Structure formats: structure tokens, C-alpha cells
Chain A
Amino acid sequence: MKRAAFTHRWIPILLLVPQIAIIGIFFYWPAIHALRSSFYLQDPFGFGETFVGMSNYLSLFKSAAYGRAAIFTVGFTLIVTFLSLGIALLLAVKADKVLRGAKTYRTLLMWVYAVAPPVAGVMGVIMFNQSWGPLSDFFKSLGWDFVLGVHYYDTAFAMVLIAVWKQIPVNFIFFLSGLQSIPKSVREAAMIDNPSAAGRFWDVTFPLLAPTGFFLLITNITYSLFDTFGIIDTVVKGEPGNNPMTLVYKVYVDGFRGNDLGGSSAQSVILMVLVLAMTVVQFRLVERRIHYT
């Protein structure tokens, strides 16, 4: 803050008040409220509540369904992150290399950024329709009896595919601009040192992209955890059944659909702690990234 220039007393406070007020009312109040509710069991209509201590948390740790959702969430996050980063990196490297049609490719590969996740989910549901979905038919022709909504792993596969499709553009944009910011001199030097394209990529380009990659890793994990809600909700068609679901979707199902306010608040608090831990890691990485550049 050494660059501070003005010393007025009230102006900065006035400037900050709207932001802090909104954050106070719609961020801190709900967060504290969630913490409190997680220790109670409450009648949905608000007529009565009982203090139950840690029992909402304990029943989560005991619950096999919650465990399954947690395991699915971890697996889903890892696979979506890995695939969408990998495919986007491949496409970005190619798009950086080609001379003809570079701009067209760039547009075609990035517009999906603007598609809302539930719309992506709707497309997936049509693609995987049980009677005539083109992709179900395709898999069936390969001998894979693909049935969305019945086979747990088929449904999970569909969710992963849709989530990856939706996330490729962001990663692509970041990787491409990362590649394009590599100075020409570095590229030319590498060209002389290392005649093989693959070798050049792993020795020079990849390390230079690593900071972008670290940053994207966190972004993609957050995406898989939270922003995929719309995809999950449309794919399961409102009936959780034996379908895979993420932890955020479970907060919604138990709290909003099932009206169990205490149990769902406890789940919220667990997620908050998780995200807090992740962000500490992120801040460390961002700091390191600043040192790089």
C-alpha cells in the first residue's frame, strides 16, 4: 500500500461501504448462519428446532451415501480436470502452430465458453437418450450397452464428457495466450537446440506453460466441484436415484428437495473448509507465479 496517494478520511470509507455492506449481508451473514444451523435440527416450517451438537456432522461421516458422493466428487474432479486440461493443451499447441485458418479455429474452439452448464446438460441428455440418442446408439454398436440413468458408470461417463466439453474452451484460451506470450527469441533458440518437435515441447514449451497450468489446475478443480451443478441436475432429470452426484448437488438435494436444513448446513460447512484450504494453496501458487513473470 505504499503507493497510496490521497489521505481523505471519509471518501475511501464511502467508496468501500457498498461493497462491504453487500458482502456482510449476503456473504458473512449466510456463512455464519450455516455454521449455526449445522448444530441444529429444524422443522422445515420453522416452528421448532433442537440443538444436536455435532450429530449432523457425525451422521454425515457415518453415511455411506455421503461417502459415495465424496468419492465420486474426487474421481469426477480428477478426471474432468485431467481430460479438459490435456485436450485443451493439445488443441492450443496445434492452434498456435498452424498458419492457415488460425483465427477460425480459435473461434470455433472457444465459443462454448458462453454455453450455460444446464444447456450443455440438456444436449447431453438428448445425445444419450435411451431410445434413440446418437451417442448411446454409437456405443451400443461398439458392444457397450450404454444406458443413461440406469448404469452408474454410464451416467458418470456422460457427466464427465459433458463437463469436459464445457471446460475445454477456458483452458484452451489460457494455454493459447500462454503459448503466444513465449518470446520469439526463445522459440528460435529452442528450434536450433532441439530439432524434434516433441522434444522441444517437453523441454521448453511445457515448463514455460507450467505457471499457467498450475493456475488452471485450481480453476478446473473449482469448476468441477461447483459449476457442474447445472450439468448434474439436468442429467439426473430431478430424480437422484442411484445416479452419481457431487457434494454440491447433495447439499441441494438434502436441503432444498428434502428440507433437512441442519444436515445440509453441515455439508455446506464441510465444503467451506475444503475450499478455504484449497484457496490457501491457490494464493501460494499465485504468489509463486508472480515471481516467475
Chain B
Amino acid sequence: MTKSTPRKRFKLSVVVDHAVLIIGSIFMIAPVLMLLQMTTMPDLINMKTGPILMIGDQLDDNFYKAMFKADGFSGANTGMRMLWNSMLLGLGFAAGKIILGMMAAYAIVYFRMRFATFAFWIIFTTLLLPLEVRILPSYEIVQRLGMLNTYQGLIIPLIASATATFFFRQYFRSIPEELVEAARIDGAGPFKFFVDILVPLSKTMIAAMFIIMFVYGWNQYLWPTMITTEENMFTLVRGIKQITQALEGTNLPEYGRANMLALIAILPPVLIVIFFQSWFVKGLTESDK
């Protein structure tokens, strides 16, 4: 009696642990399965009954429509075009952020400068204010610079914050000081030290940062919504707005196509996060924003 109770309780707690985790996992994945189900059904059924427990045969048809069908006179906002724009935004944002961040962090950590403290504060104040709170004036300035509906206008204002700089500053400071001393004794200049030692040393960190920044850039919504009004500049996430508006129209709403586009919009970043999980987790937990 007394011996079997703890064993039983132990087992029960394992069951409870798994049950909690399974419920959690279902909670996370169910909405996406629902989207997927709706992409296999004809739109008429979607409109009348919504998601049901049935798999239809419209998957490839909806995929085809989502990728290659466009609205509008220009015929420019196909899924392919939006995928391309999202890719450019994600990559451009991640690359720009990391290159600028590393350069600035290098200057701050490894150089004796007169205005070091000043530069530090100039840069790190930007950590405080997300783009959303200065969205309208930012928009006005981009408009004044004639950068509406351009890739520069889309990407550069998003880069104007110091998250990557801060991250690399912390990381560089954790690199042993002896390394610089040794390099200097070997006669390495600042450029050589940066390219030959610091960058190779930071490889994992760069990869981790890249993944996080790519996902962040890819998922931008408010800024692309404001800055791009030309159909050929839409990103997938910005295109979502168009999709929801189409669902509100008077004709047969194209749930299949819309949901397929939503799935296409989440697939690349999700796959990256899943496949580069360890880098991603490392980057996220060590960056501390």
C-alpha cells in the first residue's frame, strides 16, 4: 500500500505533464490546421459552413490562384510578387541591421573615442521608442524624401533602431581582451582584426541574429501598409489587408485563396525557426533585446 502510492502518483504526474503539453500543442497548432482545411474546400462551402472536418480537392487549385492570380489592372500583386517582396524585406532588413550594428558596436567597444559616451547614448536612446509611436512623422519624412513605394523606403526606416548594435556590443565585450592584445602584437590593424578575427568568431551570433531579424522584418505590417500603395510593392503580410478586404466584398469571398496566401506568408519564417532552432533560441535568449 504505502509503497505503491508514490509510484502511482509518479506515473499520474507524468500523465498530467504530457496532457498539459499535448493540450498546449493542440492549442498552438489547431488554427493553422483549420486554415489548411479551408484551402482544400470549394469557396461556396467555405462561405456557407466555414471550417468543417473534411478534406476537399481544391488544394492545388487554390495554391495556383494564390501564387499566380492577381487583382488589379497592372496584374502585379500575385503571390509570387509578394513572396519576392517579403523575401527582399526580410533579407534586406536582417543584413542592414547586422552590418550597421556590427560596425557601430565595433567602434564603440574597441576604439578610444572622444564622443564615445555621447555616441552610445545617441544610439541607445533608439532602443526606447518603437517605430509605431513615431509612425506618422516617419511616414511624412519618407514621403518628403520621395521614398514611398521603394525598397529603400520600406527597409531603411525600420533599421533605425539599435537592437543589433546593443546585442553585438554585449557580445564583443564578452570576448577575452587578450585576443586584441595578441592581435596587436602580431601587428594586425583594426580592419584586419575585424575581418580576420572578430567576424569569424561571431559567426554563430551573426546567424542567430540573422534569423531573428529576418523573421522580424518579414512579419512587419504597419509600416509596409503605410509605405506601399503600389500593388507591385506589396509584401505577403501587407497583402493580408487586401485579403481581409476581399472577404468583405459583395461577391463570393475567396476563402481558399486567402487562407492559402496566409499560409504562404507564415511558412518561410516558421520553417526557418524550426530548422535553425538551436541558433534561434540562442540568439533570442542571449540578445535580451
Contact = CB atoms under 8 A, between A and B. Distances in A.
Interface of A: 1, 3-8, 11-13, 15-16, 18-20, 22-23, 25-27, 29-31, 33-34, 37, 87, 90-91, 94-95, 97-98, 100-101, 105-120, 122-127, 129, 131-134, 165, 168-170, 173-174, 177, 197, 215, 219, 222, 226, 229-230, 233-234, 237-238, 248, 251-252, 255-256, 261, 264-265, 268, 271-272, 275-276, 279, 286
Contact of A234 (B28, B49, B161, B244): B244
Given A91-B24, A275-B133, A230 B221 contact: yes
Categorize the interface residue count of chain B: 35 or more
Given A110-B273, A115-B266, A168 B28 contact: yes
Contacts of A12: 107-108, 111, 113
Given A26-B160, A268-B135, 14 more contacts: A5-B111, A6-B111, A12-B111, A19-B103, A30-B140, A107-B274, A111-B28, A114-B266, A115-B266, A117-B219, A126-B50, A230-B221, A234-B240, A275-B133
A265 B24 CA distance: 41
A25 B144 CA distance: 12
Contacts of B134: 27, 30-31, 34, 268, 272
B50 A131 contact: yes
A18 to B, nearest CB: 5
13 contacts: A5-B110, A7-B111, A11-B111, A13-B113, A25-B160, A31-B129, A226-B132, A233-B222, A255-B135, A261-B136, A265-B137, A268-B134, A275-B129
B192 to A, nearest CB: 11
A114 B219 contact: yes
Contacts of A134: 34, 50-51
B243 A109 contact: no
B184 A177 contact: no
A226 B262 contact: no
B271 to A, nearest CB: 8
Contacts of B250: none
Lowest 3 CB-CB distances: which A-B pairs, in order?
A: A132-B50, A114-B269, A30-B137
A98 B34 CA distance: 29
A87 B27 CA distance: 11
Contacts of A13: 107, 113
Given A34-B134, A134-B34, A234-B240, A165 B122 contact: no
A16 B119 contact: yes
Contact of A237 (B142, B248, B265, B284): B248
Contacts of A168: 24, 28
Nearest to B212: A113
Contacts of B110: 3-6
How would you classify the secondary structure of chain B's contact residues: helix, strand, loop or mixed?
helix
Interface string B15-57: 0011011001101110110110010000000001111000000
A230 B243 CA distance: 14
B103 A122 contact: no
Greatest chain A CB density within 10 A among B190, B218, B221 is at B221
A182 B283 CA distance: 19
Contacts of B273: 110-111, 113-114
Contacts, number: 287
Contact of A177 (B159, B241, B265, B285): B285
A32 to B, nearest CB: 8
A3 B215 CA distance: 34
Given A6-B112, A19-B100, A264-B136, A123 B32 contact: yes
A93 to B, nearest CB: 9
Contacts of B285: 173-174, 177
B17 A97 contact: yes
Contacts of B266: 114-116, 119
Contacts of B24: 87, 91, 94, 105, 108-109, 168
B272 interface: yes
B277 interface: yes
A1 B128 contact: no
